[in-house]
Copies of this chain bind each other. A is one copy, B any other.
Amino acid sequence: MIAKRMASIRPFYVMELLARARALEGSGRSIIHMEVGEPDFETPRPIIEAGKRALEEGFTHYTPAVGIRELREAIALDYKKRFGVEVNPDRVLITPGSSGALQLIMGTVINPGQAVMMADPGYPCNRNFVNLVSGIPVAVPVGPDTGYQLTAEIIEREWSENTRAVMVATPSNPTGTLLNRAQLEAIYQVVKARGGVLIVDEIYQGLVYGVEPFTALEITDDLFIINSFSKYYGMTGWRLGWMVAPERFINAADRLAQNIFLAASTPAQYAALAAFDAETQAIVEARREAFRERRDYLLPALNKLGFEFPIIPEGAFYLYANCHSITQDSFEFAHQLLETEGVAVTPGRDFGDNQPEQYIRFAYTTSLDKLAEGVARIGRFIGR
C-alpha cells in the first residue's frame, strides 16, 4: 500500500533517541545533548526584531517563487563582500530551507534512473531527495585518508554511464571536514569533463575554525550552491535557505518552485534581511568563536577517552569520532550511554553504511560546561 520508495527512506535513528532523551528529561533525569544538529544559540536579536517588524507591517502575503528581490540582492552582495565574487542576483533563489533547494536541484537535474554520487558518511536526507525523483543515490565510502570527502580521483573511478551529478559538502555533516580550493577545483574539472553537474553544499559556510572560508563560486559559476540561514545565522526553525544556480537552470527551477512550494516563508525572508547587518554579523562571528572554543575543548577530551580523530574537523559543529577501540557497535553504545549516563549522541548509522558501527557523531551545540559534564559521564560509562 505504501509507495515502494519508502522502503529505502529510513527514519533518522537519532529521532528515536531524541524522543527517549526527552522522555527521560520529562521524568526528571539530567540529559546532556550532544546529538542535536542545531545551534543552541537563539536567533540573533536583530533578526528577531526584523521578523516582528515584518509581521507588524503586513509582510504576510505570497512572495515570488524565487523570493523577494531585496534578499536575493543582499545575498549576492554578501558573496561580493565576503569572497570578492560577483554573483548575478537572478541566480540566487530563495527556498524553504536548503531542503527546498535540494528538491529544486534534483527535480530539474535528475531523470529517473540517473545517479547522483555522494560521500558516505554524509547527510542522510541527500540520498532521499534523489530517491524522491526516482534517481539513484550512489553513496561512495570515504575515510580519513581523504578527509571523509570525495576526491577527483574517487569521482573519476566511480563514474558510470548513468552518473549525472556529484554532490559534496564543505564543511561536511557529520564529519566537520572541509574541501580546500584546490581539491574542489579538481573535483569540478572531473565532473565537467564527464559532462556532469556539481552540487556543493555550503550550509555550514562561515562555521570554520582556523582556516579562511571560501565559496565554490570562486572557482566557477557552472555549479549549484546550496546554503541556508539555519546554521550560521541561527534561523533553523524559520526554514529559510537559498541556492545559486547556473543561468541555464534558473527558469526551470523557478517553474518547479512555483509548483512544489509556491515560495519560502515571507516573514522569514524579511527577517533574514537583517542577517547582513553589522550587528548580526558581530553576533554570529562571536558565536563562531564560541564554537571554536568548544571544538578545541571537546576534541582532545574525547581523544583522551579513546575516541580517534585521524583528521581534525575544521568546520560545522560536529566531531565524527572513530570509537572502534571503545565499542564495536556504536548504535547500541549510544542507547546504553543515554540510558546509563544520560548523554545523547548520534550513532554512525544515521549517516550511511560505511562502517557506521565504528562511528559516533558528537555535536558541540551545547555549552562548554555541559560538554565537560558530558565528557565526565562518558568517561565514567566506559570506565576511563
Contact = CB atoms under 8 A, between A and B. Distances in A.
B3 A107 contact: yes
Contacts of A1: 248-249
Contact of A255 (B10, B52, B109, B256): B10
Copies in the complex: 2
Given A132-B260, A239-B261, A261-B96, A55 B62 contact: no
A62 B3 contact: no
A206 interface: no
A248 to B, nearest CB: 6
B61 A237 contact: yes
A43 B57 CA distance: 11
Contacts of A133: 3, 5, 132-134
B111 A51 contact: no
Contacts of A2: 108-109, 248-249, 252
Contact of A235 (B56, B60, B268): B60
Interface residues of A, number: 67
Interface stretch (A97-105, A207-215, A312-320, A334-342): A97-105
Contacts of A38: 61-62
A103 B96 CA distance: 14
B128 A3 contact: no
Nearest to A58: B42
B5 A111 contact: yes
Nearest 6 A-B pairs (CB), nearest first?
A: A237-B266, A128-B259, A43-B60, A134-B134, A60-B237, A6-B252
Interface of A: 1-6, 9-12, 15, 38, 42-43, 48, 51-52, 55-56, 58-63, 65, 96-97, 99-100, 103, 107-112, 124-125, 128-129, 132-134, 234-239, 248-249, 252, 254-256, 258-268
